[in-house]
Structure 1
Amino acid sequence: MTQGMANQDVDSKVDAQIEEFITMMAEKHQFDPDFIKQTLNGANKNQTILEAIAKPWEAKPWHQYFPIFLTEKRLAKGLAFWQEHQEDLQRAEQETGVPAQIIVAIIGVETFYGTYKGKYSVLDALYTLGFYYPPRATFFKSELAEYFLLTREEGFDLADVKGSYAGAMGWGQFISSSYRHYAVDFDDDGVRDLLNNPTDAIGSVANYFKRHGWQSGEPIAFKATVATSSNKVDDLVSKSLKYKHTWQELNDAGVRLDDKTSLSAQQSVKLLAFEQPDNTEYWVGLPNFYTITRYNHSPLYAMAVFQFSQQLQQAMELK
């Protein structure tokens, strides 16, 4: 098959998928099919987006990943944000149980406090990934549908909203489905504005964590050591984010915590391994660590948020 014929085959498959999408949006969500078709005709396939999603930061080893986020500049900006929005953060913590430092850390890691909210057209991003990125096409077509629904509900201009290469938006980088289901109008002005309103972003990040099972007052993770004689550790470290082990099982396999730290035998935990230049660093994740991975499905991301939140809390206590 020639390259031209291959491209025609791809185009015909995409055309069929687009027609199927238009029909679904009309029948399931009562959109005008001509509106959906016209909108998608105005969307652009963006090769840069396809290249970006193929090389996510989360593919880096830990020792290359964390320096991107744990910087003095981000810490200073985070403290200024915390002080400026202290009242909103305190109220969010009281209403949801999610600590202020976690909320501040998330917004800092995601957009450097609104500085970098994304340069890509959200429509183009979801169109590109939904129809030209087979590994996750089903997910992104679903998010494209959610984006149409979101813009109809919130009154956004479909073509105007900018975000990340994956279609995440605003101060907290919510994808369309998360925006629809977890965004809150935290300042009671009648608008759930995560694009330009940090107060709504604070309340919405807190609500997202609460709705995903955040346990108020509970720890997040503990640094661990592993007995050199243990031959079971590799079996306990898995790519799955789900918690399948108890502290008793990890302890029996030679995993140890600081002498001052104790966990109940049946506590649900996960052994986490982070690659350093010369060794592997181990941590024991607790349910709140898992909740952070609901925001971004990466242990590296969750650990960066956790450690940044600790830096913020310690620095804030010195103020």
Structure 2
Amino acid sequence: MKSNHLLAAAAALMLMAAFASAPARAEWSSCLAGLRGVAAGAGVSQRTIAQATDGLAPNDAVSFMDKQPEFTTPVWDYIAGLVDEERVEEGRAMLHKYANALRAAESHYGVDPATVVAVWGVESDFGKSFGKRPVVQSLATLACEAPRRNDYWRKEFVAALKILDSGDIAAEEFYGSWAGAFGHTQFMPSTFLGAAVDLDGDGRRNIASSAPDSLGSTANYLRKSGWRPGLHWGFEARLPEGYNGPSGRKNRQSMGFWQSRGITRLDGSGLGEGSAALLLPAGRDGPAFLVTRNFDAIYAYNAAESYALAICVLSDRLRGRPGIQTPWPTDDPGLSRAERRELQALLTRRGYDVGDSDGVIGTKTKEAIADFQARAGLQRNGRASLKVLNALRAR
């Protein structure tokens, strides 16, 4: 009798769930029908619309909206994971491997090879991490279910169908991030329509499978965003003791203005000519940077200062210049990817399930770190840091 009661209760719960989900399914179907109509009105063929949307169901894209690392991670962690010796070494190899394509891109668009390759490295680790979600599905989900910016997601959804309609990208390779960015240098669909180029000359603008097309398209996008050939992105600067003057990416002043306030280059020399803004990504106790309009062109790619700074610093490392010299204002620095892999391996050795030791700090790794921190008497925050790594090494 007891098992019969349990079966009846389970059946009732399933029935309730079915009724509860019916309005959601109807709302999704209605929204998707509206998206199809907008796409048709924008000139997308009915064949492409049907192939891309028939039987389409929502995915998990909305759950990632407030978890972007460039906005949620301390800047020293963010930079440490993106600008490490592995990425510098591989980036230099890419500069050599794609030298001809990079020269062509610079000739056409005026953007130097180191900057283009740095974007490539930060965006997809030189083509190794495109994202695994179907672009059309993610954008339809965001257009219908996101709590904000629905008009933006609808525009990107239509742009994605236009790309499929053009034949530039095949449906089987149209995969990307939760937000619909795709390809070697992670263009949003509308960015693709406005800036993608066919650098390899095969008749398709294919940033999903052609590295040359991706490099040329990135250079073209930066040019359209205001890139000035021959102008460096900026440099690390030294503030005078107790500096309390203006700062901020939008507060652009002449180099003479900054020099009059006691700001110099790291070696104490003058600032030179032109104009710049003073960037203090970790406040006045951390590294300071004077950044030019070319920093803003990179910022336009993804509107986060830590993101733009990572690309700029990586581009300098690819040129043979040093990285950031001034210490970050923390006693617990971030980890390189090699160190993150070591941390995961040590957690696994202690019995934690973190999945693969791939250097990606996901939910399992964060939960394992938090548990270990509690046991080791460290602050429990789930952060992969040097203190956690050293504590694991010591045990």
TM bracket (short chain): 0.7 to 0.9
Asked whether the equivalents of residues 169 and 205 of structure 2 are also in contact (C-alpha less than 8 Å), the reply is no
Change (3 A) 1:19 1:124: closer
The question of whether the paired residues in 2 share the 8 Å contact of 1:232 and 1:253 is answered with no
Aligned partner of 1:95 in structure 2 is: 108
* Partner AA of 1:22 in structure 2: R
Alignment of 1:149-160 (within 5 A): 149-154=162-167, 156-158=169-171
- The count of aligned residue pairs is 303
Counterparts of 1:22 and 1:57, CA distance in 2: 33
- The aligned counterpart of 2:181 is 168
The residue that corresponds to 1:270 in the other structure is 277
Match of 2:37 among 2, 5, 23: 23
* Preserved contact between residue 244 and residue 268 of structure 1 (Cα < 8 Å): no
User: In structure 2, how many angstroms separate the alpha carbons of the residues matched to 1:250 and 1:17?
Assistant: 54
1:52 equivalent among 60, 64, 67: 64
Asked if 1:260 corresponds to 2:273, the answer is no
Give the alignment partner of residue 220 of structure 1, picking from 230, 233, 237: 233
The runs of 5 or more residues in structure 1 that have no matched partner are none
Q: Distance in 2 between matches of 1:9 and 1:55?
A: 28
2:48 and 2:166 map into 1 onto residues whose CA distance is 16
Separation of aligned partners in 2, 1:300 and 1:250: 25
Measured in 2, the distance between the counterparts of 1:13 and 1:77 equals: 47
1:308 counterpart residue number: 314
Alignment of 1:1-319 (within 5 A): 14-29=28-43, 31-32=45-46, 36=49, 39-47=52-60, 49-59=61-71, 60-154=73-167, 156-158=169-171, 161-233=174-246, 236-237=247-248, 243-247=250-254, 251=258, 254=261, 256-258=263-265, 259-264=268-273, 267-275=274-282, 279-314=285-320
Distance in 1 of aligned mates of 2:105 and 2:170: 29
1:5 deviates by 9.6
SS in 1 for 2:148: helix
Write out per-residue CA displacement over residues 229-280 of structure 1, whole angstroms, 9 at most, x where no aligned residue.
Answer: 44443xx43xxx6x3432379638946132434355xx5533322228x933
**Aligned equivalents of 1:80 and 1:121: distance in 2?**
30
Letter in 2 for 1:262: L
Q: TM-score of the superposition, structure 1-length normalised?
A: 0.83
Between 1:8-17 and 1:163-172, the stretch displaced more is 8-17
Distance (whole Å) between structure 1 residues aligned to residue 211 and residue 182 of structure 2: 13
**What RMSD over aligned residues (CA atoms) do the two structures have, in Å?**
3.0
**% identical aligned pairs:** 25
Larger RCO (alpha carbons 8 Å, 6+ apart): 1
